[in-house]
Structure formats: structure tokens, C-alpha cells
Amino acid sequence: MQNLGTLGGNESWAWGVSANGAVVVGEAHNDAGQRRAFRWENGVMQDLGTLPSGTWSGARGVSADGDVVVGVAPNAAGLWRAFRWENGVMQDLGTLPSGTWSGARGVSADGDVVVGVAQNAAGQWSAFRWENGVMQDLGTLPGGYYSRACAVSADGAVVVGWAENAAAQSRAFRWENGVMQDLGTLGGNFSEAQDVSANGTVVVGFAGTAAGQYRAFRWENGVMQDLGTLGGGFSRAWGVSADGAVVVGVAQNAAVQSRAFRWTASGGMEDLNTTYASLLTNGSVLRSASAISPDGRYIVGQGYNAATGRTEAFLLDTIPEPASLIALGAGLAGLVGLRRRKQA
């Protein structure tokens, strides 16, 4: 368990993690109180800067190898722009034709496909898919006015997010081959998709129930499953593993507190603060889990670091080194020490 610190300010948020857990991206406040996109690796939080003459930035997604980061930052005119960062260069991805702003939310495993939301010629919010310099408008559900893309499958073919329907209600959608599918709700009047499995078949997010509550959901084969809560009234799913088996997010507990959760079919919804209590310093709390590595091992999000008194991004490794490997390492270290003493 690692708290990732800040860029000199009081807060940081993690929104994405590379496949091997070595790179984390998100946003943090610098010592001037400004929001900055960051890329964290080997204990160092790197400020990715802004677009020319811009004032802030925020990262929301990262490629599998950790080399490509996407997010949003204003340009010199103060208009939001989707960006793609690679090798120290922050690229403005532009907007839809005749639009004025855009923001990126997700990126494919190889970093070549970026998705998000942009203004179209009619002044509407519209989900987009960007590839090879071309920003494609994904449209809306029939009769709707707006849409927003939040994530993309590993190969860039399936896009998920939320869009307005003819009844002016928000609906989670799954887009593939030019067709936007309404995923329904949990009995309420809204839903939002936030992430998708590597092959595009499992979608997670949150939806309204008949009782008007927010609940995390997992959708597969046309069925939207309510993942429950931690004893409180709401939950939201933010991320899913590559195989769709592990879901992470935030849920309310019986004490009406927001807590990071992990869900599996076998274990249900568990509070990460309980499962990994031994890794947390006294008073520290994992408040929300926002992303998970493809293999389900690494979880990132935001929590309270009691040692610094700040709200900080965290990186949790859920698979400790096997006891046998630790013992082997200790034994090898002992042998090396003994050899050095004999040589001395």
C-alpha cells in the first residue's frame, strides 16, 4: 500500500494504472494550488504540465505500458481540450467540427485510440472516438441530445459511456461498429457506464433503482446486475479487470461513510479498508477505488493519509510476495552476508 503524495499541494487523485502497476496517472494540486495532470513511477510524481498558456490539466487514462496518458486541459483561450501525452509532449486532440471544447476520458491498451466528450456543431455534448488524428462523433441514443464516452476496450473497438434517450433520461451505452446500445437501468430512470472489460463484453458503472438509489452495476449478455452496497444507501463502480471478473468503486457503509470496494462473484462486495487493514496507518482511509490493472492485482484511487493529513492518491498491490519467496530472499541475503564476512 502506497500513498502517492502530491505535487506540493493538499490533494491528489489517481484515475488510471498501467498493466504492471508501475505507472499511475491522475491529477494533483501543486504548491500554488493549481490542478496538474501527473504520471507517477518509481516513487516520483511527475507534473505533465499544461497546453501552451493553459492554467491546469488532469489525467484520466493511461495505456497498458504506461507511456501514453490522456485527459483534459484548457488551451490559451481557456477552452477545454482533450489531450494525449507521450514522451513529454502534450498533444491537443482538437474538437468535433465547429465545436469549441473537448475532454478525454479513456485510451486503448496500445495508446492509439482515445475516447471522451466534445462539443459538436450543434453545440451539444457528444461522445467521441479519436484515432490517427480523426475525431469521430459517436452520436446519441435515438431522440437524445447528448452523450459522453468514458472508456474503451483494449483494442479500441468498443466504447462505453452514457447518453440521453428520447425521454431525456441518461442511459449507460455500449457502442460498437456504429451502433449505440442502451444498457437499461436497475429499475430507475438513469444509468452511466464507466469502464469496460478488455474484450468489450462486460460493462460496469452505476444506475438508479426503483427506490431512487445509486447502485454499482455489472452488465453482461444483456443483464444488468446490482452489486449492492457496504450497508449504506449507494455504490458506484468505476473500474473493471480485463476479464470482467473484478470490479472496484466506492460504496457507502452502514455508518454513512464512503469506502473503496472490490467486488467478485465469489466474495461479493468487500470494503478494502477491512481486507487490507494491516496495510493502513492508524486513521488512514481508502475512500474510493477508481481503476484496477487488467490482471486485477493493482488498485488505485483516493483516500485520506493520516500521516500527512492530506487527501492523496493511493496504489494498492493486492498480491503480496509469497512467503516462500520472501524466505528465499532472506536466506540468499544471509548467505551473501556470511560470504562477505568470511572474505573479510
How many CA within 13 A on the CB side of residue 105?
27
CB 167 within 8 A of CB 177: no
**8-state DSSP, 186:** B
Q: pLDDT under 70 in the chain at which residues?
A: 321-344
Annotate 154-176 with b (16+ C-beta within 10 A) or e (fewer): bebebbbbbbbbeeebbbbbbbe
Contacts of 162 (CB under 8 A, 6+ apart): 147, 148, 150, 170, 171, 172, 173, 191, 192, 193, 205
Q: What is the pLDDT of residues 81-125, one digit of tens each?
A: 999 999 999 999 999 999 999 999 999 999 999 999 999 999 999
DSSP label at 341?
A: H
Domains of the chain: 2-343 (2.120.10.30)
Radius of gyration of the chain (CA): 21
Q: Identify the pLDDT of residue 320.
A: 76
pLDDT attached to residue 322: 55
Q: What is the pLDDT of residue 242?
A: 98
